[in-house]
Amino acid sequence: MINTEEHKAATMRGFFSSSLSVAIFLLIIPGDTCMDLDIIGGYEVAPHSRPFMALIKGQLNCGGNLIKKNWVLTAAHCSINKRTATVIIGAHSSSKKEKEQQIFKIAKAIPHPCFSHENKEHDLQLLQLKGRMKINKAVKPINLPSGGVDIKSRTKCQATGWGITNNEQRKLSDTLREVNVTIIDRRTCNDQKHYNYNPLITMNMVCAGDEKGGKDTCAGDSGGPLICNGELRGITSFVKKCGTVQYPGIYSLLTKHHLLWIKKTIGGDSEADLSVA
């Protein structure tokens, strides 16, 4: 006759032994575990080599793009308090003072009139500065695209910012970093293995990441640039879970409609090429 208590004890010992083996097995599987340790998968850029890059300091930090001596293009979801926020151009460090830095307060914050927090479309915002930047090697506006056409899938692009590089520590980078990402077809991005239409990735957005994951923008990178073939083509908008295959980064595409709105808002006398084909 089987001793009930001894049988239970043996069963529990077997359970814990099996559980421990599974836990050890999971810990040594390469891939996902390592991916969470450095979700950006990017690199530090040479100091002041991205002279159009803006650091917007407020309650939460965002990135931005100098498109005119007194205008910065960023994301609409970046909440801007004009009384307290500052815009820094010419920065490499996000915490240290550098002689190349030019710092301005904000005169106007103008989100795109069709921006929707719910569906995240038209996530663009223009900031008019209180003063004009002095153009030099470390501070220079970036040209906008001339036509606002779509970006072909598999196009190689770069995204830049001071955002989080470690998904566990949730700590912002102190130096400007960049990551190589690849444009992903919208049908793929919207399918059940990815965003599954929640939200819908529309023609006003573009999806970019890496087929293996681990290369992405994250919190703190919002408003920064997506540059493809040397041209500003999008603005960092959102991602559900940084660095994962399932949820690539989403960027606001600079469409013809968006470029016309920018030109109408800031005027045509820009250092950047604002012509729209």
Residues with catalytic annotation? Answer: 77, 123, 222
CA 150, 152, 157, 162 torsion-angle sign: positive
What is the distance, to the nearest Å, from the Cα of residue 260 to the centroid of all Cα atoms in its chain?
Answer: 23
Residue 62's nearest CA partner among 131, 158, 162 is 162
Cis status of the peptide bond prior to 199, with omega within 30 of 0: yes
Whole-angstrom distance, CA of residue 209 vs CA of residue 215: 6
Asked whether the CA dihedral 193, 198, 201, 207 is positive or negative, the reply is negative
Q: Please answer whether residues 79 and 58 qualify as being in contact, where contact means their C-beta atoms are separated by less than 8 angstroms.
A: yes
b/e code 183-221 from CB counts within 10 Å (16+ = b): bbebeebbeeebbeeebebeebbbbbbbeebbbbbbbbb
